[in-house]
Amino acid sequence: MISSRSLSSTQATFSPTPYLLGTLVSGDTLATFNANAVDSISTQGTEVGVHAGYNWQLKPFAVGLEIDYGAFRTRLVRDTPFQLSPIVVSQLHSETNTNWLFTVRPRVGWVYSVLYGYITGGAAFTTSMQARSIATTLEPAGL
């Protein structure tokens, strides 16, 4: 948003929008990585989220806060075969699932004319469920 001041007919100051609100919807089709390697990784997921924030302008400074929440289903599967000896072969199977993410980021900045520079940092919170299994087979010599 640009507003004019009465200091001069050509001077304008920048006022960061005091609030922001948005939504997010995205999807990811099944993707396979390392297709030609010894192991393979596949992932898939969808996401729906909301993003909100607010800026307080304390001329010439501005401070703000942003939060995000995303609800999604993301799954990563990795299968890795490895040979323990000439006759023993094992397969490591691991899965990781997560279904939500919350972030919070404070922001502090400086407003000059139409420029708004700021520094931000924050924290992210989620849960991750993991499962691993190893299957070992004995392959007799000569077969």
Tokens of 60: 């010439």
Q: Please, are residues 127 and 88 in contact by the beta-carbon 8 Å criterion?
A: no
Q: Please, are residues 98 and 129 in contact by the beta-carbon 8 Å criterion?
A: yes
> Per-10-residue mean pLDDT for the chain, 143 residues long?
36 57 70 55 76 88 92 79 83 85 94 88 93 85 57
pLDDT of 41 reads: 66
Q: DSSP for 36-54, please give it.
A: TSSSEEEEEEEEEEEEEEE
Q: H/E element holding 121?
A: none
pLDDT of 106 reads: 96
Closest alpha carbon to 97 in 78, 75, 119, 68: 75
Q: Please, are residues 40 and 94 in contact by the beta-carbon 8 Å criterion?
A: no
- Alpha carbon distances (Å) from 38 to 58, 75, 86, 109: 58, 20, 17, 49
pLDDT of 80 reads: 81
pLDDT of 17 reads: 65
